[in-house]
Homo-oligomer: A and B are copies of this chain.
Amino acid sequence: MKLDRKGLLIVISGPSGVGKGTVRKALFERSDHDLVYSISMTTRSIRPGETNGVEYYFTSREDFLDQIEKGNLLEYAEFIGNYYGTPKDKVETLLNEGHEVVLEIDVAGAAQVKEKMPEAVLIFIAPPNYKSLEDRLLKRGTENLNIINERLAKAKSEIGEAIHYDYIVVNDEVDNAADRIMSIIRAEHAKASRTLNEYNKLVEDFK
């Protein structure tokens, strides 16, 4: 029995090459969860084969700017001329339905989310050490050395921000990291501060 009924907004960040995708996949493959992805909103054009509301919510630049104005974006950023962001109302509907909503974004986006929704749970996925991240980026073999060096420089500044997250999960082994995230979700649901509604019912029951 959980004392709260609302889902959690789980924000996952981590440097490129840390294995976020693999951890996320391991997490979603578990049966004992009710995790869903948050679908982003974007102003980029819809491509053949894409469906509005599946890959993204597609919208106009005018509407997107209007949503920013109205405070209806938990976070947003501009990327090569297009806006991308997380619609607050869609996320809140999912949370109220009891789903845990997973948002994979960078450190700048995570900071925006925490400001707008302080109850969000921020998890930073860190490599065990520098060497392991370098090894992973090299092993991928998909990028040239310049790009790898750029990613490592970015990782350095991202890791400097990790302390502002609620949790730091070291990805030493994918299943361990996924276990730890599941534990964080379970523990967060037991937090006294999240259980006020149901807790008050319990107190009433004892009157």
Contact = CB atoms under 8 A, between A and B. Distances in A.
A199 B168 contact: yes
A203 B157 CA distance: 9
Given A128-B1, A130-B205, A130-B206, A167 B190 contact: yes
A165 B179 CA distance: 25
Q: Report the interface size class on chain A.
A: 35 or more
A203 B170 contact: no
Interface stretch (A37-45, A72-80, A181-189): A181-189
Interface of A: 1-3, 123-124, 126, 128-130, 155-156, 159-160, 162-170, 172, 176, 179-180, 182-184, 186-188, 190-192, 195-196, 199, 202-203, 205-207
Given A1-B128, A156-B206, A159-B202, 19 more contacts: A1-B170, A126-B202, A129-B205, A130-B206, A160-B203, A163-B192, A163-B196, A163-B199, A164-B192, A165-B192, A166-B192, A167-B192, A168-B190, A168-B199, A180-B186, A182-B183, A183-B183, A183-B190, A184-B187
